[in-house]
Amino acid sequence: MSLPPEWLRVLRRGDVWAVELHGVWDLAAGATLDRLLVEAPPAPPDDARSLELGLGGLSSLDTVGALLVRRLYRQLAAAAGDRPVAVIGARPAHRALLDAVWRAAEATTAPAAVPRRWTDRVGGLGAATGALARSAIDLVGFFGQVSVTAARTLIDPRRLRLRPLVYHIEHVGLRALPILGLLAFLIGIVLGYQGAEQLRKVSAEFLVVDLLAVSILREMGILITAILVAGRSGSAFTAQIGTMKVNQEVDALRTIGLDPVELLVLPRILALVIVLPLLTFYANSVALFGGACMVWLQFDMTMIDFFVNLPGPPPDLLDASVGLLKAPVFAVVIGLVGCHEGLQVSGSAESVGLRTTRSVVEAIFLVMVMNALFSVVFTALGL
């Protein structure tokens, strides 16, 4: 089987074996040409000293045809071995198209995988560590910038924009109540069930109330709330400010003399500082109610008995409620990371998505780190 003569002809001129292309090599004929080149590629004889690919007979050539010509050339070069393959007779317009298409095809060809050495892995680790250090320094600098703006606003309260503050309080706080309540209730049920099962083995079921109070009020309530707010509101801050950065709205604010930190960042962080302790208290209450429901089902303990047996006056109440002291710090961390990543968007929709994902990961990581530091400090202080 061979290609039809109106498309391809094979000639022998002495020691030269020539393949001449004719007619129309375009999208319409592309499917047929592709199939025929795969099924019956022209093979040069062994006694030919050189090969030629003649393009003078082409009457029409488009991008698809240029790719097919490139495939035919690569087939001939592979079959020729050490023998040269010359491309001759192309019209100037066809030559320009072939050069452009072939360069693009070579550029998009994936390079061969190079085995990584251990030095490359160490270098990659060092580069990642340096990038992490630079990100930490940038975040600390951004914290200083926000602190200066907050101090300036404290000196002149008229600079604080109440309407954005109330708007973010509603979106961060009120609209998070349903999902936060559901999660907290389920966490309370799980902790109540698992705690009761473990305490039952040592006949210490009466300690389940203390277990729930300490675990929820000290650790789980604030962690659930902070992680939910980081994933819900922190990512929203990054996406909103990042989209404004892509649309050059942040640059427009600077052009007309407005401070983006004062206008965009400070209301969001203040809203988080105000709302997160309230959300934590709400999550604690709902989680305790979920635990009380599970204890009531397992031990036939009434709701009144459950809440009466909760840790009472100080210092027990302080020990169980220490999670509320973490909320403002976590709020500042989440707000800083979300707004900082939004301002780092580099001008594309892809950058918005990458920065949004990064803000959630960084915020949750820093919340966990800060929670560990709080645990160490509170233990050292005897709280």
Q: What is the pLDDT of residue 329?
A: 92
pLDDT in tens, 67-105: 888 888 887 777 777 777 778 877 888 788 888 887 777
Overall average pLDDT of the 341-358 stretch: 84
Q: Name the nearest CA neighbour of 164 among 266, 273, 254, 275.
A: 266
Q: What is the pLDDT of residue 226?
A: 92
The answer to whether 334 touches 367, Cβ cutoff 8 Å, is yes
312 pLDDT higher than 50: yes
Q: What is the pLDDT of residue 6?
A: 63
Overall average pLDDT of the 111-127 stretch: 70
Point out the least confidently predicted range of 71-80, 164-173, 187-196. Answer: 71-80
DSSP lists the bridge partners of residue 8 as 21
Confidence class of residue 109 from pLDDT cuts 50, 70 and 90? low
Overall average pLDDT of the 108-130 stretch: 70
Q: What is the pLDDT of residue 182?
A: 93
Domains recognised in the chain with CATH numbers? 8-108 (3.30.750.24), 142-381 (no CATH)
Confidence class of residue 271 from pLDDT cuts 50, 70 and 90? very high
Tokens of residue 315, six digits: 């210092």
State whether residue 9 is helix, strand or coil. Answer: strand
Confidence class of residue 315 from pLDDT cuts 50, 70 and 90? very low
Point out the least confidently predicted range of 166-175, 231-240, 271-280, 295-304. Answer: 295-304
Count of CA atoms in the C-beta half-sphere (13 A) of 340: 23
Tokens of residue 42, six digits: 């022209």
Q: What is the pLDDT of residue 314?
A: 46
Q: Which residues of 45-64 are buried (b: 16+ CB within 10 A; e: fewer)?
A: eeebeebbbbbeebeebbeb
Place of tokens 């709400």: 282
Please report the beta strands in the chain, taking only residues with DSSP state E, as ranges in sequence order. Answer: 8-13, 16-25, 50-61, 85-88
For residues 159 and 225, the model is more confident at 225
Overall average pLDDT of the 237-253 stretch: 87
Q: In angstroms, how far is the first alpha carbon of the chain from the final one?
A: 88
Overall average pLDDT of the 307-326 stretch: 63
Confidence class of residue 320 from pLDDT cuts 50, 70 and 90? low
pLDDT in tens, 18-58: 778 877 877 877 777 777 777 766 777 777 777 877 777 78
Report how far residue 193's alpha carbon sits from residue 215's, in angstroms, rounded to the nearest whole number.
13
2 pLDDT higher than 70: no
Q: Whole-number mean pLDDT of the chain?
A: 81
Tokens of residue 302, six digits: 């009434």
Tokens of residue 198, six digits: 């473990």
For residues 171 and 132, the model is more confident at 171
User: Letter for the amino acid at 343?
Assistant: L
Say what angle helices 266-299 and 162-172 make with each other, to 10 degrees: 30
Q: What is the pLDDT of residue 365?
A: 92
Query: For the whole model, what pTM was predicted?
Result: 0.66
In DSSP notation, 239-261 reads HHHHHHHHTTHHHHHHHTT--HI
Helices (H) and strands (E) in the chain, counts: 16, 4
Q: What is the pLDDT of residue 383?
A: 67
332 pLDDT higher than 90: yes
